[in-house]
Amino acid sequence: MNIHKLALFYFLLGVILNMADLATNLELIGLGISVADLAVFNAIMIVPWCIKPVYGLVSDAWPICGERRRPYIIMANLLCSVGWGVIAKYELTLTQLRTLLFALSMLTCASDVMYDSLLVVEAKKEDTGHHGKKQTVCWIARAAGATIASFVAGMLLMHVSRQAMFVAQASVHLVAATAAIFYVVEGPSIRFAATVSRGFCQRARQLLQALKSPTLTRPAIFMFFFGATPSSYMAFFYFLVSELHFSTALLGTFKSIRHLAMLIGTVLFRRYFRNVQLQRFFTIMVVLSSVLGATPLVLVSHLNRDLSIPDEVFVGGDDLFLSVFTQISLLPVLVLAAKLCPTGIEGSLYATFVSVINFSGVVSEWLGGQLTSYLQITRDDFENLPVLISICTLSTLFALVFIQCLPPGNIDDIARHAKAARSDDEGDGDDEGEEMTLDAASESGDENGRPAEFSD
């Protein structure tokens, strides 16, 4: 599939994930959800993104009309469009709204898995020394969509209702479904393989076998602990809304700045950081993350005002810098994961790696919610917010304990060693050789020796 056509879907995904986000949070707050409960609910909303391999395995085992990706993209977006239409039309209770939002999160994740499935196919075609370039094209497109959607949503909420934003969200899903009809192309070999594909259980066993490789599991362990430390984000969001009385336009602008920073971080990674030594790089990143994560204390204590820095300027600058930093930290391991996935289960295995990172976000939000409740931080009482931010910041250093889980060297070195190790294993294992031969035979129709199981 042409990478620029695929980038269109990532652009739309960026829009989808951010167009109604602010309106949804304000709707939940309007229905009376507490600070701690909103943090826990945000953690629950990440859960569907932690089981991404399941979506990939399902689409691999049960193709529709001989295709594994396009029908699922179309169905997921059409159902999302209906769901957002329901939210726009009816006055739902808090429980009904949370249930429907969770279902919509699952459907959006399913479509994301299909996009990433196609992206991993393209990423595997890259020559040594050019790793990550096609991925960054799609990440830039996604960040661009998120930046535009966040800014527009914040401005629109000053003039239109939340229900109108939900209608807009439904419309974007319709655009994505329509685009999939015309632009998503699955090669003849993929459609042929779909008719005689291995079943769900057999593919799952193959995935579990691949996960025994320490080259993949050890970096995943590090990234889990790097991302699983408590988060103060939702308590801080309430502080901006209730204490500083930031407008929806301003909140949308801040969100847009964060995504613009992600775009900048992606460009910087592509230009300067694609060949970093991972252990040294992440040691520096963990320490800086802990230091920079304390900057909200300046705003909470109003020290910025003593320095004649307006609250709005401080939050905007802080968001820009921290988001660039976060994006640069995340991209090396995603490129590494795409490079290390063995042929045949690239998408499902890559999805598993990303799911580990997503699950760390669930743990982070849940721990943050529990700490928020324990410290008795509410929408009217932010006395202990500095304590929460301090705990979250210091806990980041815990990831240094697992820094040795990262393999030495840069991405190219690690990929070469992993490929050589797999070649040795294939030559030594007679029993495994027969199974791998059968696998290769069933996948031989793809010009790259791969079937369609590329689900993130």
| DSSP secondary structure of 331-384 | HHHHHHHHHHSPTT-HHHHHHHHHHHHHHHHHHHHHHHHHHHHHTT-BTTB-TT
Residue 279 has pLDDT above 70, yes or no: yes
Q: Phi/psi of residue 453, each to 5°? A: -80, 75
Cα(46)–Cα(368) distance, integer angstroms: 14
pLDDT at res. 418: 64
Reported as a single tens digit per residue, the pLDDT across 214-223 is: 777 888 888 8
DSSP 291: H
pLDDT at res. 15: 94
Q: Which residues pair with 67 in a beta bridge?
A: 64
CB 265 within 8 A of CB 328: yes
Q: Is 359 domain-assigned?
A: yes
Q: Phi/psi of residue 302, each to 5°? A: 65, 25
Q: Name which residue leads in pLDDT, 298 or 167.
A: 167
Residue 229 domain boundaries? 3-443
pTM for this one?
A: 0.71
Reported as a single tens digit per residue, the pLDDT across 226-255 is: 888 888 888 888 888 888 888 877 877 877
Q: Among residues of the chain, what percentage have pLDDT more than 70? A: 82
Q: What phi-psi label fits residue 348: left (phi over 0), alpha (psi between -120 and 50 degrees) or beta?
A: alpha
Cα(79)–Cα(82) distance, integer angstroms: 5
Mean pLDDT of 48-62: 81
Helix-strand-coil split of the chain, %, nearest 5:
80, 0, 20
pLDDT at res. 321: 67
Ranking 164-173, 246-255, 443-452 by mean pLDDT, the lowest is 443-452
pLDDT at res. 337: 74
Residue 69 has pLDDT above 80, yes or no: yes
pLDDT at res. 173: 97
**Positive or negative: CA dihedral 131, 137, 140, 145:** negative
Residue 446, classed as helix, strand or coil, is: coil
Q: Is 451 domain-assigned?
A: no
Cα(422)–Cα(127) distance, integer angstroms: 19
Cα(430)–Cα(432) distance, integer angstroms: 5
Q: Is 455 domain-assigned?
A: no
Query: What element of type H or E holds 245?
Result: none
User: Which of the four pLDDT bands, split at 50, 70 and 90, describes residue 14?
Assistant: very high
Number of separate domains in the chain: 1
Q: Is 453 domain-assigned?
A: no
Of 295, 288, 16, 4, nearest to 149 (Cα)?
Answer: 16
295-306 burial string, b = 16+ CB within 10 Å, else e? bbebbbeeebee
Cα(225)–Cα(218) distance, integer angstroms: 11
Q: Is 456 domain-assigned?
A: no
What would the two tokens of residue 425 be? Answer: 């294993």
Residue 423 has pLDDT above 70, yes or no: no
CATH assignment at residue 126: 1.20.1250.20
